[in-house]
Amino acid sequence: MRERALELIAWSYTIWAERLLLAGLLVSSILMGWGVAWDIHWHWTVGRESFWIPPHMLLYWGAALAGMLAFLASVRTGAAGRLRSSLTQGYGSIAIGSAIMIAAAGFDELWHRTIGDRTIWSPPHVLGVTGAVVITLATAIALLHAGRRQVLPPLWAQIGLLHLLAGLIIAAYFGLVPATLMVFLQGDTGLRFFITSPYIVSALASLMIPALVTCDQQLLGRRGFEIAAMVGLGLWSFQTVFHLLTTPLVAGTLGYAMKPDAVPDLRFELLTLGFVVLPPLAVNRLALRQPWVVGAVIGALYTAGVALWLGVRGMERGVPVLGIAGVIILGTLTAVSGRLCGQWIERASSVGD
């Protein structure tokens, strides 16, 4: 009887230890997502006068927390089969993603000392985003794996997964806004990019959104994607209010000067948000079965949206047929890759069941 009681105590300790690890990983994803969005807003409105700005601290503390928790989870697997177990449960990949983000932090500091604050889509920023995506997808594997082993109730695992995917949708929006500002406002936004064609916005959207749609559909179903999009819109609303209220207060307290007229019109941000979210929601309602069709239609809708905006604004630039075809092909390829990514996450999370 005593041995049985000790076994139950040990089992309960193991279950709750992993639950706390998973909860900590979700907290780290919130910190990273919040930090990335705030960092973009801070670049627009304040600039980057130091590495030690508050958004960076939020972002990199989240990455450090994820790496520390992943290390602890790997240690808990024991010496035998540690690497294989930690990788199949997602924790090893989380540690890799955290290391990428920490490396990107050093690269970013060197970049800004050498090049300056000229572009949002700089190589160190892209490297950091890559690390954050690795952490997010690996955390999704860890959540699903825990749900299938009954470490977490399956509903809890699905709710955590929903949060992660909603965060990726809004992260795609924040990554797209700088390019949208440059090509649609046609003014000096203080930002630089490697190309000025308006249709680059469609290409960037097709690089991110179709993959998210098909990955979400694979993991959550079509209804789940719509819920994730609605949760993402809620996150966007909360973050926007946070940025508008907190940035001037924090910047003033720390002695940073705000850029004059740096904050874009909220109506424009809402228009951009609609541009990002409405095409995939419309395509999701069509219940298309093949991922390549989903991506092609989303790409076509994005290019149509850009053309419509240029027509309304009276910006006659001609219709780049090859560029539009390239956007549609890009959407097709990324949609297929998103579906494959969703299938891979499901397979990885079922290893060892």
> pLDDT tens digits for 120-134?
667 777 788 888 888
Calculate the average pLDDT of the chain.
80
pTM of the model: 0.81
Residue given tokens 């309960």 in the structure block: 12
Q: Which of 13-17, 85-89, 217-221 has the lowest mean pLDDT?
A: 85-89
Q: Is the pLDDT of residue 92 over 90?
A: no
Decide which of 107 and 219 is more confident: 219
Report pLDDT for 86: 45
Tell me which of 332 and 46 has the higher pLDDT.
332
271-311 tens-digit pLDDT:
888 888 999 999 998 878 899 999 999 999 999 888 887 77
Determine the pLDDT at residue 301. 93
Q: CA 204 to CA 275: how far, in whole Å? A: 12
Write the burial class of residue 245 (CB in 10 Å: 0-12 exposed, 13-18 middle, 19+ buried): exposed
Token pair listed for 279: 């095409």
* Confidence (pLDDT) at 83: 42
* pLDDT, greater one: 91 or 212: 212
191 in Cβ contact with 178 (< 8 Å): yes
Express each pLDDT in 344-353 by its tens digit: 988 888 865 5
Q: Is residue 79 over pLDDT 50?
A: no
Condensed to tens digits (0 to 9), the pLDDT of residues 5-55 reads 545 555 555 677 778 888 888 888 888 888 888 887 787 777 766 777 888
**What amino acid occupies position 293?**
V
Lowest mean pLDDT among 73-77, 86-90, 137-141: 86-90
Highest mean pLDDT among 71-80, 136-145, 238-247: 136-145
- Cβ contacts of 229-232, under 8 Å, gap ≥ 24: 229/166, 229/169, 229/277, 229/280, 229/281, 231/162, 231/163, 231/166, 232/166, 232/167, 232/169, 232/170, 232/173, 232/277
Is the model's pLDDT at 104 over the cut of 80?
A: yes
Q: Where are the domains of the chain?
A: 2-350
Q: State residue 114's pLDDT score.
A: 74
Q: What is the reported pLDDT for 262? A: 63
Q: In percent, how much of the chain has pLDDT > 90?
A: 16
Mean pLDDT of 157-166: 89
CB-based burial label for 133 (10 Å; 0-12, 13-18, 19+): middle
Average pLDDT over residues 236-253: 84
Residues 45 and 256: beta-carbon distance below 8 Å: no
**Which pLDDT score, from 0 to 100, does residue 318 have?**
66
